[in-house]
Amino acid sequence: MISGDCTLLFLQIISKLMCHFLRGTRVADHSVPSQIVLKFSSMMTELQDLLGKLGQALLHREHNCLLMVAFLQLCYNWGEMKVLLIHYSVKYESAADLQLAALQEDISATNLSYLHPYLNSELWNLVAQRIDNFGEADCKELLVKLILQKLQAVVLYVNNNKTRQDIMLSAARHLMSHIREAWPIILTGANALLVTSVLNPEQLECFANHVVQEIGCSSESCSEGLDALKKPGVQENRILVVAFTCAALRCIMKLFSGIKRKIDRASHQVVHLTLARKVLTRLDPCHILTCMSKDDLEALTPVVRDMASAVNGSFKKEEDSLVTDGWKLDVMGVQRYLHILELLPLQHTPGILKSLLVVSILALAITFERSDISRGEQLSNIRSLLYRHLLLGLLDSPGLPDLSSYLSIGQLANWLTNLDLPLSRDLQCLLFQRLFESSLSCSSTLHQLQDEMPVLQKQSSQWPQDMKTLGTAVALLQVLNKHENPEDQSLCLKYQRRLLRSIVRIMEHQDGAAASPSVFEGYNLMLIWCLQEGDSKQLEKLTPHLSTVVEACGVE
């Protein structure tokens, strides 16, 4: 039946034409006349018989990858049409009863006779065995697609809970054992939602780890993997987003590990005592995914608090987080994993997970700021990813994380103030505003902020220290004025008067500091406040400097 190159080419062409025909037919449309539907149903039955004969013929001869691909492609497209016909209740369904009995007899993932009855379970398992032993990548990918197609049909049409659960577990085990071929297909279309519904937390963690490592291990697979993460099936799947996020953070943690792996080069070993490692080691992806599946995210509170305690401790003392010359970090690897985090819609994750992510990002940022890695382009890109795309992206999103329950906001604000952040002045102001807004629910945090901002202290220091924290203090007052809380009214009034006093002293200084944009913003804020409150006494202190501000603005 099958011999010669010409026959092989002929079968490949016929398979392609039939696949295009099946994909392009709209017989499930109710506007199609019934006689055409009956004719098409008869053709589907004839094609079913032909597929059975072709499949048996293939199994009785030496394995041929090209023939197997042509056969599997036609099987897949025939199955897609069958699912559509059944789903839309076309008359063909009476002649296409799904083989539930055959399914219950053999629950293995490669038993496709439920949707493809032209081969029995024994023959389908033999096809899968041949593909595992001799099949090329195309064959293995098509087999994965057929298993996912069967899984979709089982979820849609099998009412027996035990049978459906057994089939789903079997399919999940098979996909995880063939994850190298399966992951690009799983992330395509609706497959992501289908598969994540059948994978348990351990399997989800394993799947996410494999995908992230494939993306991060080399630049060749990086582009394809990043494109897969941009697909709607991933972006709209909350649990998959969290799984990839945890996997990326764990991969970064391993780059900071002093344990040498087989794939590591000597230049990629790093000092093991770093804040990033201390914090990220406490992250357990399986536990996080389990809490999500049980809708019990509050159980993550002790984890976030434990991670945050290490970050808070780093503000009080300089920890040994230096990367020395003999222990160089794979900076490009860190950058690739951070880029994965950048692509994921982290702004839509639940509040407790946002807090966990902010703490993790801060641990990475502190580690890099205290390292002796050369300040080249690579580190510049990492700092931009950390501060602009990740930290600011999480803070400037719906549903602010409750950071004040975990972090020392005053010490954090002071640490950020002393950095040369890779942000424009407007974005830097926005960062501090969102940071302070996350603390509004905790009045004790607002009281403690003055300890870290000399400009807000009762006995303020000299103007150089005031200038350094002026922009941060202005952002704090803007937040307090916008979200005024009766309980914090006296605190806000106290801060405003101290800020006004510091601004006046700065403007009286003869070094050009009055031309600073932060001074202008603070001056305008205090001027508006005095006018609104009718505080003539404080207004008298500002008025003499109005001409200076106007002249400086005119120069700009």
SS (H, E, C) 306-372: HHHHHHHHHHHCCCCCCCCCCCCCCHHHHHHHHHHHHHCCHHHCCHHHHHHHHHHHHHHHHHHHCCC
What confidence score (pLDDT) does residue 210 get? 93
Total length of the chain: 556
Instruction: Examine the pLDDT at 48 and tell me if it is beyond 50.
Output: yes
Q: What is the average pLDDT across 68-75?
A: 95
For the purposes of burial, counting CB atoms within 10 Å of the CB of 537, is it exposed (0-12), middle (13-18) or buried (19 or more)? exposed
What confidence score (pLDDT) does residue 93 get? 44
- Start-to-end CA span in the chain (Å): 86
For the purposes of burial, counting CB atoms within 10 Å of the CB of 210, is it exposed (0-12), middle (13-18) or buried (19 or more)? middle
* Chain centroid offset of residue 506 CA: 45
Across 38-42, 304-308, 516-520, least confident range:
516-520
Q: Between 225 and 295, whose confidence is greater?
A: 295
What confidence score (pLDDT) does residue 540 get? 80
Confidence of residue 290 (pLDDT cuts 50, 70, 90): very high
Residue 230 is which amino acid? K
Task: Kindly state whether residue 143 falls inside one of the protein's structural domains.
Answer: yes
Task: Kindly state whether residue 57 falls inside one of the protein's structural domains.
Answer: yes
8 Å CB contact between 113 and 126: no
Instruction: Examine the pLDDT at 474 and tell me if it is beyond 90.
Output: no
Mention every residue, 6+ apart, whose C-beta is less than 8 A from residue 215.
Answer: 221, 222, 225, 226, 229, 336, 340
**Alpha carbon distance 172, 177 (integer Å):** 9
Q: What is the average pLDDT across 144-173?
A: 89
Confidence of residue 271 (pLDDT cuts 50, 70, 90): very low
**Alpha carbon distance 172, 442 (integer Å):** 45
Task: Kindly state whether residue 80 falls inside one of the protein's structural domains.
Answer: yes
% the chain with pLDDT above 90: 37
Task: Kindly state whether residue 149 falls inside one of the protein's structural domains.
Answer: yes
Instruction: Examine the pLDDT at 554 and tell me if it is beyond 60.
Output: no
Cα-atom radius of gyration of the chain, to the nearest Å?
32
Q: Between 445 and 37, whose confidence is greater?
A: 37
Confidence of residue 32 (pLDDT cuts 50, 70, 90): confident
Confidence of residue 487 (pLDDT cuts 50, 70, 90): low
Please state the domain count of the chain.
Answer: 1
In the 8-state DSSP scheme, what is residue 259?
P
The Cα-based distances of 280 to 240, 257, 274, 314, 327 in angstroms read: 19, 11, 10, 14, 20
Mention every residue, 6+ apart, whose C-beta is less than 8 A from residue 550.
Answer: none
What confidence score (pLDDT) does residue 514 get? 55
Task: Kindly state whether residue 2 falls inside one of the protein's structural domains.
Answer: no
Task: Kindly state whether residue 48 falls inside one of the protein's structural domains.
Answer: yes
Q: What is the mean pLDDT of the chain?
A: 82
Task: Kindly state whether residue 288 falls inside one of the protein's structural domains.
Answer: no
Q: Between 3 and 162, whose confidence is greater?
A: 162
Segment 317-343, tens digit of pLDDT? 665 445 544 456 788 888 999 999 999
Most confident stretch, 157-166, 290-299, 455-464, 514-523: 290-299
What confidence score (pLDDT) does residue 538 get? 78
Please report the beta strands in 169-281, taking only residues with DSSP state E, as ranges in sequence order.
none
Q: What is the extent of the structural domain holding 37?
A: 10-159
What confidence score (pLDDT) does residue 526 get? 82
Q: What is the average pLDDT across 237-244?
A: 95
Task: Kindly state whether residue 130 falls inside one of the protein's structural domains.
Answer: yes
Longest CA pairwise span in the chain (Å): 103
What confidence score (pLDDT) does residue 221 get? 62
**Alpha carbon distance 307, 283 (integer Å):** 8
Segment 380-413, tens digit of pLDDT? 899 999 999 999 999 998 888 888 889 988 889 8
Confidence of residue 8 (pLDDT cuts 50, 70, 90): confident
The Cα-based distances of 528 to 278, 364, 472, 475, 485 in angstroms read: 47, 40, 19, 15, 19
What confidence score (pLDDT) does residue 321 get? 47
8 Å CB contact between 432 and 469: no
Segment 488-511, tens digit of pLDDT? 667 777 777 777 777 777 777 655
For the purposes of burial, counting CB atoms within 10 Å of the CB of 208, is it exposed (0-12), middle (13-18) or buried (19 or more)? buried
**Alpha carbon distance 407, 305 (integer Å):** 8
8 Å CB contact between 446 and 483: no
